């Protein structure tokens, strides 16, 4: 078996042992079920399928919750092993450093993917059993796309957390940096962008390049993918006019870049790190 898969399996077992898997799954399932059962109450009668309304609600929730869960999973990927003294033991085996990074990423990716699929899938089942009118096949496909995009968002922040973990020397520092990164990318970035748009009236360079600014942030790329790309969801969220001409492939590529790019940076830093 590949050393990376062995390390991934170890991360999954640790996640089961310290209840990370159960906790993340229960949190996502509870919130997803609550939003699904509320139905269209938050937005009134919009003439849109209940599952589409749930996609909007879940995507808004995921932007805040999934990045935080992902960063908490990954912030001590390497620095935690170094503090416990097990990193030197791992490197004593015939393992390359990229295999360690890849294995830990795959393990965390599996935990997050399972939690997201089961958690959000429970909302879909609740709607399927309780809705007076069954969702259309297009709505089911959109919901499946929501789950896939949510996993992509989580993996992007797992990769960012891995960069943090290979850069700092103490777990407490890594935790603090992870919170700051979450705050900036999820909250402050959009606030700054909105303030700039208001100040310029949406005109000029910023207004013309707004989609690019949104794609530069993994949380906003996820928002564009889940709200603007799925039929009906963008109209509810008010983003349809902003990205009317933006192909859905661009947000997908942006999320993939936010996974591959930080992983490459993490491996480069870890390869040069002196223990």
- Residue-range domain boundaries for the chain: 3-272
- The residue assigned the tokens 């089942």 is 125
Are 222 and 245 spatial neighbours (Cβ–Cβ below 8 Å)? no
Tell me the per-residue pLDDT of 186-242, one tens digit each, with 9 for 90 and over: 999 989 988 887 888 767 777 778 788 888 999 989 988 886 655 554 454 455 555
What distances in angstroms separate CA 52 from CA 47, 55, 139, 230, 266, one per listed residue? Answer: 10, 5, 6, 9, 37
Instruction: Using the predicted structure, report yes or no on whether residue 248 has a pLDDT greater than 90.
Output: no
What distances in angstroms separate CA 72 from CA 108, 129, 221, 230, one per listed residue? Answer: 10, 34, 21, 29
What distances in angstroms separate CA 210 from CA 9, 59, 217, one per listed residue? Answer: 41, 20, 12
Are 99 and 3 spatial neighbours (Cβ–Cβ below 8 Å)? yes
Instruction: Report the length, in residues, of the chain.
Output: 275
What is the chain's mean pLDDT, rounded? 83
Instruction: Using the predicted structure, report yes or no on whether residue 172 has a pLDDT greater than 90.
Output: yes
By CB atoms closer than 10 A (0-12, 13-18, 19+), residue 91 is middle
Torsion of CA 89, 90, 93, 99, to 10 degrees: -160
Instruction: Using the predicted structure, report yes or no on whether residue 125 has a pLDDT greater than 70.
Output: yes
Tell me the per-residue pLDDT of 47-105, one tens digit each, with 9 for 90 and over: 455 677 777 778 888 899 999 999 999 998 899 988 888 888 888 888 888 999 999 99
Global pTM value: 0.88
Distance separating alpha carbons of residues 121 and 115, to the nearest angstrom: 10
Q: For residue 263, give the nearest of 178, 189, 164 by alpha carbon.
A: 164
DSSP code of residue 173: H
């Amino acid at each position: 078996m590949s050393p990376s898969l062995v390390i991934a399996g170890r991360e999954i077992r640790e996640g089961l042992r310290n209840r990370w898997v159960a906790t993340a799954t229960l949190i996502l399932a509870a919130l997803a079920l609550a939003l699904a059962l509320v139905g269209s109450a938050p937005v009134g009668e919009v003439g849109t399928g209940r599952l589409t309304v749930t996609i909007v609600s879940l995507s808004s929730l995921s932007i805040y919750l999934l990045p935080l869960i992902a960063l908490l999973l990954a912030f001590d990927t390497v620095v935690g092993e170094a503090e416990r003294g097990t990193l030197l033991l791992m490197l004593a085996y015939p393992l390359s450093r990229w295999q360690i990074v890849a294995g830990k990423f795959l393990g965390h990716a599996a935990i997050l993917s399972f939690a997201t699929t089961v958690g959000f899938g429970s909302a879909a089942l609740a709607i399927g059993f309780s809705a007076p009118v069954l969702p259309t096949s297009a709505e089911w496909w959109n919901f499946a796309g929501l789950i896939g995009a949510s996993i992509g968002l989580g993996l992007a922040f797992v990769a960012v957390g891995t960069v943090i973990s290979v850069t700092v020397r103490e777990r407490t520092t890594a935790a603090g940096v992870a919170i700051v990164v979450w705050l900036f990318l999820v909250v402050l970035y959009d606030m700054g962008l909105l303030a700039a748009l208001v100040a310029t009236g949406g005109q000029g360079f910023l207004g013309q390049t707004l989609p690019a600014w949104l794609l530069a942030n993994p949380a906003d790329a996820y928002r564009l993918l889940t709200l603007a790309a799925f039929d009906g969801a963008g109209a509810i969220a008010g983003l349809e006019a902003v990205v009317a001409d933006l192909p859905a492939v661009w947000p997908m590529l942006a999320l993939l870049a936010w996974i591959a790019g930080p992983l490459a940076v993490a491996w480069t830093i870890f390869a040069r790190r002196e223990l």
